[in-house]
Amino acid sequence: MYSSIRFAFSSEQKKHEDESREKQTERRREAMNAQEVLRSLVEQIKEREGPQGLIILDARYGLLASSSTTTNENLNKIIDVTVPLQILVKDSTLRIGTTVSKSNLTGFYDPCIGEEKALFIKYSLRSQIHTVLYKDTDPVILPNRGTKISLFN
């Protein structure tokens, strides 16, 4: 009897994991489609911002290890969100006031379900390059008035 209960639990768990994987795959597909649509607008925004404006040079979201060691497995848990962040720049300012997961933003998805995520942003403003790192649920305000590197504001 114990083994049949364990089998039923294991079966339910596998079904749940399969459903989670399917949802993640669908969210990834939606995010990539959204990024493709937004990509055409990025050049217009960069032109409007000009060389002195806020330009997102690189943005990564997901499992961002605090150490410099990055494994291939971890690379699969990080997504490029440069395009969707640049779209949110208005008048050389980026504001994401939400305190919920950024995986809900257009062009984002959760690349590492159940793990702690962060958002890394490298940007230029007035010909200076800055980098910041935010926890997943922290509000984002750029330009950052603090130091050039802010680890988990």
Longest dimension (CA), the chain: 70
Q: Given a cut of 90, is residue 27 above it in pLDDT? A: no
Residue range(s) defining the domain that contains residue 80: 2-151
Determine contact, residues 127/50, Cβ cutoff 8 Å: no
Count of structural domains, the chain: 1
pLDDT by residue (tens digit) across 61-86? Answer: 999 865 445 556 666 799 999 999 99
Strands 128-135 and 149-151: parallel
pLDDT by residue (tens digit) across 96-152? Answer: 988 889 999 999 999 998 899 999 999 999 989 999 999 999 999 999 765 444 444
Distances (CA, A) of 96 to 8, 137, 150: 43, 10, 16
Burial class of residue 92 in the structure, from the number of CB atoms within 10 Å of its CB (0-12 exposed, 13-18 middle, 19+ buried):
middle
Tell me phi and psi for residue 96, to 5 degrees. -125, 100
Its pTM surpasses 0.85? no
